[in-house]
Structure 1
Amino acid sequence: MTPDQLLTAPDTALPTLRGAVAGLPSYVPGRRSAGADIAALASNESHYEPLPAAITAVAEAAGRMNRYPDMAAVELRERIARHLGVTAGEVAVGPGSVGVLQQIITGLCDAGDEVIFAWRSFEAYPILVELAGARPIRIPLDHVEGHDLDAMAAAVTERTRVILLCTPNNPTGVPISHDRIEAFLGAVRSDILVVIDEAYVEYAEAGSGPDSLALYREYPNVCILRTFSKAYGLAGLRVGYAVAAPAIAEGLRRTALPFSVSALAQKAAVASLDAREEMEARVAAVRQERSRMAAQLEAQGWKLQPSQGNFLWIRAGEDLLSRLMNAFDAAGVMVRAYRGDGVRITVADAASNDRVLRLLEAHAA
């Protein structure tokens, strides 16, 4: 066959995706707002604008965005290390905590290995596990919407490589106490990486969840996962980090996509850490609104578990969920529905929160 004939020959086959990719569930992001009258309460974003220091840092860095960022993120890692009392060698960064989690799964799991996590929890967990060719092991939440650690420990096999503990849990807001995690760590093999995912830790009341740094110092198989997307208000820049034993952290840096954390994101994250007191004042206001909303919803007759995130969770079956989502949509309030399970509502400014309270009062049992 001549070259011209090869170019014009009909295709007999097309490239195909890996089976693991073709069968992946799609990650469902929170819906975006479209209009000034829409309350965007679906993605757990901070309703505040970025911290002024972060805006200034980004503006100053923007003039150099023709250059690649520091792939090692040395300044940011050193600043995180100073903030937490660890070394830069124990820190790995990535594009949001979900990006770092992908580095974790990629770095530790071969095809057929198992990753245990609670369900329902963060929707990206099974996607990242299956993408790596590993097997997701979903353990149902307990009767108070939290992690069933006994069942998770019982699910461990010789193929278990990673266990994910989300505290406070997304989407239910329920934390895991320090004592429970400590007992759990004593019950599982030391060659299993236990990831404590603390994307919402800044919103948690002191003592409600674990002292993850103390656990990390006692158990070398602990990995702490955090993000700048929530309380620090940098969701659009994508930067998160892990704290892990130096050998693990080095492996995570090796599995990272080159230059995955932009220079603007790195500068904004450093500036945000330096403005921590201002961030904490904003978080305190969100906590106050969370408590106000929870008290009023419970007075209306809604049954809630105490949330330690910047959101509230209402358990709802299909019928109730459909009615609520229709009502929210009609009212211009965007919340996050989990089919068959419930609805998650981000805590925002008082006016938006009042819209939620009025709507739910009209639909209370």
Structure 2
Amino acid sequence: MTDAAVVPAEVRPHAKVGLLPPYAAGKPPVAVPGLAPFKLSSNENPHAPVPAVLERIHEVVTGAPGAASPVCRYPDPLSTALRERLAAHLEVPADDVVTGAGSLGALSQLITAFAGDGGESGAPDEVVFAWRSFEAYPIVVRSAGAKDVQVPLTADHRHDLPAMLEAITDRTRVVLLCTPNNPTGPVLTTDEVEDFLGRVPPHVLVVIDEAYVEFVRHPQAVSGLDMYRRHANVVVLRTFSKAHGLANLRVGYSVSRPEITAALRTVAVPFAVSTVAEQAAIASLDHLDDVLAGVQTVVDERERVVAALAEAGWDVPETHANFVWLPLGERAAEFAAAAGEKALSVRAFAGEGVRVSIGEREANDRFLEVARAFGV
């Protein structure tokens, strides 16, 4: 780079950038001689997409016989085919579905459309959510110029809904509910969410983030779709990244009423969902029984891991996701280092705990060995 190309000192990012916490993606494992490395830090599905999905991806990328590959063309900006397929699957109007680059992309649309710096009032809008929860929440909220209001989890690592209600002010525009909660694992129940929604002002948007919904086995777990059908201010977030194993293709969606979706489409990043991602998601829905069979394999492993941890003396929160939470507090980094010595990468939250994704059986067995040796 020549001197002329150096960015001048006067060029500065917006002040809000300095207020953003960095997003810490799960790191890959460090190689250890004699051990196969496993990444248990990003809540990825350890299994590849079902074969029919891989076949559809190949067909889309290569194009029809004798025709050029469509990858040189822009995708449908509205993901019409996927929205119609989701509408049939979820029994909702297609107009109520808006796609995005993963559920995070769909969330960014929501916050951008419904919360911001407050305009002429000079006071930023507020977005309320439990903490700790999905670490992208404060990044998305602050990027929009809004203020995040973090409400501590209860002692059993669940949303404190009464405290979240108390945190709502006349500046609140959005409330985020993460169920199962990432990174701790517990779900919200139908009764408690119904009661919560009955007390939230009707002009406040309530987003139910169900990124891990396919892994839920709790009989009283809330259904975001049921809440959307009964409450006009509810939005549901879902993704194909987890259960469907399409994390790399970045496709998720929201479900909400038309007066909400109109705003979301206005602020949506054009062409965020590629044709490859759209067709892979459709193929996955077309072979949902196979997808759910793979999900059950992960759930069975989760239950085995949780039982083994309990037998070893660990007290972990009830999880209905594809991960477990170790509430280690100040020992979180120490545990992550111990796992790293065994070629396992896990996700440590300094001073709070460690989230460990459910992976391949060999990886889970090695994690249990680390947990037993580490002690409670």
Q: Is the 8 A contact 1:168 1:209 kept in 2?
A: no
- Post-superposition CA distance 1:125-180 (Å, at most 9, x none): 00000000000000000011000000000000001000000000000001000100
> Within 1, Cα distance between the matches of 2:12 and 2:334?
40
Q: Is 1:60 aligned to 2:72, yes or no? A: no
Q: Is 1:355 aligned to 2:354, yes or no? A: no
Aligned residue runs from structure 1 range 1-365, under 5 A: 14-33=10-29, 37-62=36-61, 63-111=69-117, 112-318=124-330, 320-365=331-376
CA RMSD across the alignment: 1.6
Following TM superposition, by how much is the alpha carbon of 1:333 offset from its aligned partner in structure 2, in angstroms? 0.5
Q: Normalization by structure 2: what TM-score?
A: 0.92
Q: What amino acid is aligned across from residue 30 of structure 1 in structure 2? A: G
- Post-superposition CA distance 1:193-219 (Å, at most 9, x none): 100000000000052420221211110
Name the SS for the 2:262 alignment partner.
helix
Name the SS for the 1:241 alignment partner.
strand
> Within 2, Cα distance between the matches of 1:322 and 1:31?
14
Following TM superposition, by how much is the alpha carbon of 1:273 offset from its aligned partner in structure 2, in angstroms? 0.8
Q: What amino acid is aligned across from residue 50 of structure 1 in structure 2? A: P
> Within 1, Cα distance between the matches of 2:218 and 2:55?
31
Name the SS for the 1:213 alignment partner.
helix
- Post-superposition CA distance 1:323-356 (Å, at most 9, x none): 2112111110111001111000001121111001
Following TM superposition, by how much is the alpha carbon of 1:13 offset from its aligned partner in structure 2, in angstroms? 5.1
> Within 2, Cα distance between the matches of 1:323 and 1:261?
39
> Within 2, Cα distance between the matches of 1:288 and 1:11?
54
Q: What amino acid is aligned across from residue 343 of structure 2 in structure 1? A: G
> Within 2, Cα distance between the matches of 1:321 and 1:154?
31
> Within 2, Cα distance between the matches of 1:237 and 1:13?
38
Q: Is the 8 A contact 1:92 1:250 kept in 2?
A: no
Q: What amino acid is aligned across from residue 37 of structure 2 in structure 1? A: I
Name the SS for the 1:50 alignment partner.
coil
Q: Normalization by structure 1: what TM-score?
A: 0.95
Q: Which moved more, 1:261-270 or 1:16-25?
A: 16-25
> Within 2, Cα distance between the matches of 1:136 and 1:197?
16
Q: Percent identity?
A: 44
Name the SS for the 1:137 alignment partner.
strand
Q: What amino acid is aligned across from residue 321 of structure 1 in structure 2? A: A
How many pairs are equivalent?
357
Q: Is the 8 A contact 2:218 2:320 kept in 1?
A: no
> Within 1, Cα distance between the matches of 2:347 and 2:17?
25
Structure 1, unmatched stretches of 5+, are: 1-6
Q: Which moved more, 1:47-56 or 1:141-150?
A: 47-56
> Within 2, Cα distance between the matches of 1:276 and 1:53?
11
Q: Is the 8 A contact 1:139 1:152 kept in 2?
A: yes
Q: Is the 8 A contact 1:93 1:253 kept in 2?
A: no
- Post-superposition CA distance 1:245-273 (Å, at most 9, x none): 01111211221111111110001011111
> Within 2, Cα distance between the matches of 1:246 and 1:34?
48
Following TM superposition, by how much is the alpha carbon of 1:24 offset from its aligned partner in structure 2, in angstroms? 1.1
- Closer, same or farther: CA 11–361 of 1 in aligned 2, 3 Å: closer
Following TM superposition, by how much is the alpha carbon of 1:11 offset from its aligned partner in structure 2, in angstroms? 8.9
Following TM superposition, by how much is the alpha carbon of 1:32 offset from its aligned partner in structure 2, in angstroms? 2.3
Structure 2, unmatched stretches of 5+, are: 62-68, 118-123
